[in-house]
Amino acid sequence: MTSITLYIAQQLVKRAIGGDDDLDDSPDITTPDDGEGEEDPVTEEIFSSWALFILLSLLCAALWSSYFLQQRRIKAIHETVLSIFYGMTVGLIIRVSPGHYIQDAVKFNSGYFFNILLPPIILNSGYELHQANFFSNIGSILTFAIPGTFISALVLGIILYIWTAIGFDGVKMEFVDALAVGATLSATDPVTILSIFNAYKVDPKLYTIIFGESLLNDAISIVMFETCQKFHGQQVRFSSLFEGIGIFLVTFTISTIIGIAIGILVALILKHSHIRRYPQIETCLVLLFSYESYFFSNGAHMSGIVSLLFCGITLKHYAYYNMSRRTQIATKYIFQLLAQLSENFIFIYLGLSLFTEVELVFKPLLIIITFISICVARWSAVFPLSRFLNFLYKAKFKEFTNRNFMNGGISSQAVPDEISHSYQMMIFWAGLRGAVGVALAMGLQGEAKWALLATVLVVVVLTVILFGGSTASMLEILGIKTGVEQHMDSDDEFDIEAPRLPISIQPTPFNSNNNLMGNRRFNNSRPGVYQDEIRSRNESSASLSSNKTPNMNDNIPDEDDDMISDGDDLISNFQTSSTENGVLGAFLSAEEHAKWFTRFDEEVLKPVLLDTIPKKDNDNSN
Amino acid sequence: MTSITLYIAQQLVKRAIGGDDDLDDSPDITTPDDGEGEEDPVTEEIFSSWALFILLSLLCAALWSSYFLQQRRIKAIHETVLSIFYGMTVGLIIRVSPGHYIQDAVKFNSGYFFNILLPPIILNSGYELHQANFFSNIGSILTFAIPGTFISALVLGIILYIWTAIGFDGVKMEFVDALAVGATLSATDPVTILSIFNAYKVDPKLYTIIFGESLLNDAISIVMFETCQKFHGQQVRFSSLFEGIGIFLVTFTISTIIGIAIGILVALILKHSHIRRYPQIETCLVLLFSYESYFFSNGAHMSGIVSLLFCGITLKHYAYYNMSRRTQIATKYIFQLLAQLSENFIFIYLGLSLFTEVELVFKPLLIIITFISICVARWSAVFPLSRFLNFLYKAKFKEFTNRNFMNGGISSQAVPDEISHSYQMMIFWAGLRGAVGVALAMGLQGEAKWALLATVLVVVVLTVILFGGSTASMLEILGIKTGVEQHMDSDDEFDIEAPRLPISIQPTPFNSNNNLMGNRRFNNSRPGVYQDEIRSRNESSASLSSNKTPNMNDNIPDEDDDMISDGDDLISNFQTSSTENGVLGAFLSAEEHAKWFTRFDEEVLKPVLLDTIPKKDNDNSN
């Protein structure tokens, strides 16, 4: 018996050190097309277990240091940078240690990235999105996202093409490939922005613009990349440009529709079934349907990111009120958890892949040039566009003041909503590149592939470390308002409305968000009936929520106080955004649209989509 | 513009129908060792998106029909059977449809199974385990799990070896391989049992025995399988048997220790840090650490299942009380969600793989023989062991009654705890085989591999369909008490203690469970101080929880009422289990052990591991 124990002990130690010798007692019988899956599961399990163990340990380390930094209020160094360094360190160790199994297992896999890591982040962004802020800044967001990304990709592409044409590094590529690389490197990263700006709780307007931009321009650069790939090896005609733009616009619209449609579908299912009596199944279905929107959209060559984002928003706007209380809480917590894990993991993954991607070919010069041209491209996107936006603001403000003298109205709250120079600078600085770029770069073709991939990877890591690491000091230098958000680290399970985004004004999301949401989603306009509207619905929601959980009453009052100022603020926001889109003429008619849509949302959509008496339903389900 | 729209539309339709033509514009550049990951991510994304879309749709269908069946109270047909049929149908469609990409993507991958699908189920089982029931039946559970699995594997192995030796099917294999197949087919399935028995809410004692057995014998058959694999191609000596047993015992013990150790580690971390102020991070860490236990254990050739199970139990016993309220709720919901998804998915996966595994070689005769011999093996494991247990019960009961006359004690609650014939029959019937067997069979070696894998797969599906499908009628025929559990479909977010397992007696898990837990985990004994103990701690927990959420008070009273009877019931349970293990002599000392350990748990472990004043900490964290 003891001898056996000894034998086992030896086995253990031997295995625990390095599993390679497992290969002896199990020949590798991989079938080409489904990778490691078909090996001897026992052996396979050992390696994947170690790989996963390492990754999870890294994740623990990252989360722990994130806690530590928050706890110690250390802002000089940021967790994301730490995560990357952890990843790099372990990646190096794995690289030098014998046996390629673990190394292969922890390689950056764009499939995993797009199908596992990205969706939770996008979904959570949509679900926790502060709709008021987002849709009141939709103009600036779209401006920076769409033309911004085009400009940046174009500039990058041209510079890279010229550089490679000179041919110092012996890297040769067509213009479309250069453009493709430009596209991959124009995707600013929602993950980084989210985590850094949440930590510093910057002024919501700035936050929303940067966050919204980074969220949307991933979608745009993906579409651009795909389009460029389509032209790979072909002759590029001038019409291609328009075709590309056409493809993008169609993709964006259809993706949005898919997302909203699925959100509404869920709302209807929840309303017209008794599934809320089985909250576990309900929660699963909500999660599954939102994922369906992502995968369907991707499968149909649309933008899954856009679909998922709008699906999340729609879910929160309609379906949320048809859910059982338990599902409301469960979805919130689960989406947050998944998002948090993915966010932390992505950085580790990037750090790891620097060393675990064996085929990479590093071209120092090319990397430097690319890094510089990124800054140039970002610069030439941000500043002209901000100037353009500011011009619109000014014009609109003149228009607006005139209007106010007509119906001596709410001029008091109306302030010129310009993007100050410090904000412009910050938007420029926030242009870190993220994992989306790397994942896209995996799909590059041609002999330059590995050089370009290496370049993209290094540049992305550099931007995150340099820009990300210096964001804190940048915020101070530019004197940007931070620490605005207050409810951040509450762990009371009843603040299921606690906004993820920092916001100075605190509307009751039950009301103003939806309302805004309703208004903004279909056209950007200005509801006249706003304040009474809010107040009435606020009371209803107060009573409603008190019926669910008495504890919520504690929050209601102060939120009530905010409501009026909020209402006004929103209105000024509306005016802003209604011309941010440059539709100066539509300003008068906007109000009509607003009234029309608010009525439509209240009298048609809500009754159709929501349980008219959510309280009662919740009682049923208990 | 319109022409472009048309073009896009065509693109969409073309792609949406069948993505195969994507291959034209992107050559496959797979590197052998990380499968699909390295392909052009855009193309790759399309295929994996469709694959995932299909799988998620199946999952939705399964969940929806599960809701429908529950809603309509249909018990004749069971959701798991439906899931398998859905899987088979879609599998067939995929098989006949052109293009092998999706087919490969949805193939049964034992790596995915062991690393993604299985852990959540085990973790949730441990976390939601009704510790009182489990540990009071530990004797029967272990008896059925350990010798039971050995017997069944041996019988199966011998029959198969003889059959193949005759050589009707031209399948040749060594005895160890036959034994390996026997091992794979001796893993009764926790998933099926959980889902079916939860649906019918059978008598807790029977439920616990069957569930516990199926949970543990997975671990045992895995170890047996690995051991057999080790002897593959070697000469089998008689000592090998003892070596195998030795390996198993060591594995089991060490795995348990790993699990408990990590659970305690988490408890200590939570206690000695302020991480509960950052509940999001806290929740992530709890989840990550429990997974670490699984992967570490697997990586070290121990049994991840056992580790994870005991890690879950320990977490619930100690760490749970150091968590922020939010994390308590979040962990519960998240574990449940993940488990539910995995459970439903596994059946779909099994159904799918019947058609998507192209290499399978079906040998009808072999399949029939195997199916019959499974029944024989199960039979020869269940009935002799039950008779053995009943003998112990009788002996113990005599012993017990004598004792009661000595100290005229609590004989009133003491009932002979025999396993009635109907229960034995049900235990036999509940021996469905599950995905664990299939996942293991993936690792079979030798030229017979594909024939054996096909056999295992078909047999598993057959058992699930036949036994699983007929469980309902079997329960009626045998007249077994069902519909015991009551809190099942409550969706009140405050019943975070709602037990997953059906139980007639309803202790406040805060108290009796832990206590029991404490007693049973280290030795199975009988606490004398039980009831006062329970009452005192119950009050504390009542006040504690009321401090957290007033709403909990609604639940407390009736639970209080249960406590006394519960306490007694537990005591009688104790007596049972203390001799179920056949340690008749230890019966007297058991009480001493109990007193000793209860004191130890209360005066040493709890103070060390728990926050002495959880209430206060929770206030901090709010």
Give B358's DSSP letter. Answer: T
pLDDT at residue A267 in the model: 92
The answer on pLDDT for B325 being more than 50 is yes
Q: Give dist(CA B336, CA B330) in Å, integer.
A: 10
**B201 Ramachandran zone, left/alpha/beta (phi>0; psi -120 to 50):** left
Nearest neighbour of B288 by CB, restricted to A56, A273, A298: A56
Residues from chain A contacting residue B251 (CB–CB below 8 Å): 8
The answer on pLDDT for A452 being more than 90 is no
Confidence of residue A405 (pLDDT cuts 50, 70, 90): low
Residues from chain A contacting residue B100 (CB–CB below 8 Å): 33
pLDDT digits (tens, 9 = 90+) for A8-52: 445 444 444 444 333 333 333 333 333 333 445 556 678 888 888
Tokens 């009626």, residue?
B476
Give A237's DSSP letter. Answer: P
Q: What is the three-class DSSP state of A179?
A: helix
Q: Give dist(CA A267, CA A329) in Å, integer.
A: 16
Distances (CA, A) of A250 to A148, A244, A303, A582: 18, 10, 10, 21
The answer on pLDDT for B297 being more than 80 is yes
Dihedral angle sign, alpha carbons of residues B227, B233, B234, B236:
positive
Q: Does B166 touch chain A (CB under 8 A)?
A: no
Residues from chain A contacting residue B105 (CB–CB below 8 Å): 34
Tokens encoding A236: 């590029």
Q: Do B27 and A445 touch (CB under 8 A)?
A: yes
Confidence of residue B622 (pLDDT cuts 50, 70, 90): very low
Q: How many CA atoms lie within 13 A of A573 on its CB side?
A: 27
- Quick check: B107 and B353 in contact, CB under 8 A? yes
Instruction: Give the other-Cβ count within 10 Å of A23's Cβ.
Output: 15
Q: Do B285 and A63 touch (CB under 8 A)?
A: yes
Q: Does B303 touch chain A (CB under 8 A)?
A: no
Q: Which of the two residues, A128 and B15, has the higher pLDDT score?
A: A128
Residues from chain A contacting residue B492 (CB–CB below 8 Å): 325-326, 622
The answer on pLDDT for A296 being more than 90 is yes
C-alpha dihedral (A59, A60, A64, A66), degrees to nearest 10: 10
The amino acid that residue A316 corresponds to is K
- Quick check: B136 and B311 in contact, CB under 8 A? no
Confidence of residue B295 (pLDDT cuts 50, 70, 90): very high
Q: Does A429 touch chain B (CB under 8 A)?
A: no
Q: Do B8 and A246 touch (CB under 8 A)?
A: yes
Q: What is the mean pLDDT of chain B?
A: 71
For this complex, say whether ipTM is above 0.85: no
Mutate to test the interface with B, among A46, A254, A301 (most CBs of B within 10 A): A301
Mutate to test the interface with B, among A17, A21, A49, A224 (most CBs of B within 10 A): A49
The answer on pLDDT for A346 being more than 80 is yes
Q: Do B42 and A337 touch (CB under 8 A)?
A: no
Dihedral angle sign, alpha carbons of residues A246, A434, A139, A178:
negative
Q: In Å, how far is A442's CA from the nearest CA of chain B?
A: 6
Instruction: Give the other-Cβ count within 10 Å of A615's Cβ.
Output: 15
Tokens encoding A354: 């620097």
In sequence order, the β-bridge partners of residue A188 are A433
Q: How many CA atoms lie within 13 A of A549 on its CB side?
A: 22
pLDDT at residue B198 in the model: 72
pLDDT at residue A493 in the model: 40
pLDDT at residue A312 in the model: 92
Q: In Å, how far is A592's CA from the nearest CA of chain B?
A: 30
3-state secondary structure B251-269: HHHHHHHHHHHHHHHHHHH
Distances (CA, A) of A258 to A21, A290, A291, A297, B193: 51, 11, 12, 7, 39
Q: Give dist(CA A543, CA A547) in Å, integer.
A: 6
Q: Do A36 and B340 touch (CB under 8 A)?
A: no
Confidence of residue B556 (pLDDT cuts 50, 70, 90): very low
pLDDT at residue A544 in the model: 38
pLDDT digits (tens, 9 = 90+) for B488-502: 333 334 333 333 333
The answer on pLDDT for B448 being more than 90 is no
pLDDT at residue A38 in the model: 43
Q: In Å, how far is A509's CA from the nearest CA of chain B?
A: 21
**A39 contacts: CB under 8 Å, gap ≥ 6:** A26, A28, A29, A30, B111
pLDDT digits (tens, 9 = 90+) for A45-85: 788 888 889 889 999 999 999 888 888 877 667 777 888 88
Residues from chain A contacting residue B443 (CB–CB below 8 Å): 26, 40-44
The answer on pLDDT for A522 being more than 80 is no
Q: Give dist(CA B535, CA A102) in Å, integer.
A: 52
Q: Give dist(CA A618, CA A328) in Å, integer.
A: 11
The answer on pLDDT for A614 being more than 90 is no
Residues from chain A contacting residue B52 (CB–CB below 8 Å): 115, 291, 295
pLDDT at residue A152 in the model: 92
**B603 contacts: CB under 8 Å, gap ≥ 6:** none
- Quick check: A620 and A534 in contact, CB under 8 A? no
Q: Give dist(CA B374, CA A194) in Å, integer.
A: 55
Mutate to test the interface with A, among B241, B301, B356 (most CBs of A within 10 A): B301
- Quick check: B90 and B21 in contact, CB under 8 A? no
**H helical segments located in B442-502:** 449-463, 469-478
Confidence of residue B410 (pLDDT cuts 50, 70, 90): very low
The answer on pLDDT for A431 being more than 50 is yes
Tokens encoding A299: 């499968």
Mutate to test the interface with A, among B284, B294, B352, B496 (most CBs of A within 10 A): B284
Mutate to test the interface with A, among B488, B491, B497, B549 (most CBs of A within 10 A): B491
Q: Give dist(CA B34, CA A34) in Å, integer.
A: 9
Q: In Å, how far is B603's CA from the nearest CA of chain A?
A: 30
CA-based radius of gyration for chain A? 26
If you average pLDDT over residues A502-523, what whole number do you get? 36
pLDDT at residue B523 in the model: 33
Instruction: Give the other-Cβ count within 10 Å of A612's Cβ.
Output: 10
Q: Do A30 and B32 touch (CB under 8 A)?
A: yes
Mutate to test the interface with B, among A68, A248, A295 (most CBs of B within 10 A): A295
pLDDT at residue A512 in the model: 37
Candidates B522, B133, B506; CA nearest to B314 is B522
**B418 contacts: CB under 8 Å, gap ≥ 6:** B390, B393, B394
Tokens 């209007």, residue?
A403
Which residues of chain B from 212 to 251 reach within 8 Å of chain A, CB to CB?
Answer: 225-226, 229-230, 232, 242-243, 246-247, 250-251
Q: Do B287 and A337 touch (CB under 8 A)?
A: yes
Residues from chain B contacting residue A265 (CB–CB below 8 Å): none
Candidates B345, B359, B292, B328; CA nearest to B552 is B328
Buried b (16+ CB within 10 A) or exposed e, B155-178: bbbbbbbebbeeeebebebbbbbb
Tokens encoding A224: 């651009």
If you average pLDDT over residues A577-583, what whole number do you get? 41
- Quick check: B563 and B535 in contact, CB under 8 A? yes
Dihedral angle sign, alpha carbons of residues B434, B435, B441, B443:
negative
Q: What is the mean pLDDT of chain A?
A: 71
Nearest neighbour of A67 by CB, restricted to B31, B109, B275: B275
Q: Do B288 and A63 touch (CB under 8 A)?
A: yes
Q: Give dist(CA A253, CA A135) in Å, integer.
A: 16
Instruction: Give the other-Cβ count within 10 Å of B580's Cβ.
Output: 23
E-assigned strand segments in A334-403: none
Least confident of A506-510, B189-193, B406-410, B450-454: A506-510
Q: In Å, how far is A367's CA from the nearest CA of chain B?
A: 22
Rounded-to-5 percentages of helix, strand, coil across chain A: 75, 0, 25
Q: Do A291 and B56 touch (CB under 8 A)?
A: yes
- Quick check: B197 and B190 in contact, CB under 8 A? no
- Quick check: B75 and B21 in contact, CB under 8 A? no
The answer on pLDDT for B595 being more than 70 is no
pLDDT digits (tens, 9 = 90+) for B197-251: 776 777 888 888 888 888 888 878 887 887 787 777 666 677 777 777 787 788 8
If you average pLDDT over residues B532-552, what whole number do you get? 38
Q: Do B63 and A330 touch (CB under 8 A)?
A: no
Confidence of residue A407 (pLDDT cuts 50, 70, 90): low
If you average pLDDT over residues A293-307, what whole number do you get? 89
The amino acid that residue A104 corresponds to is D
pLDDT at residue A463 in the model: 87
- For chain B, give the percent of residues with pLDDT over 70: 67
Which residues of chain B from 577 to 616 reach within 8 Å of chain A, CB to CB?
Answer: none
Q: Do A284 and B337 touch (CB under 8 A)?
A: yes
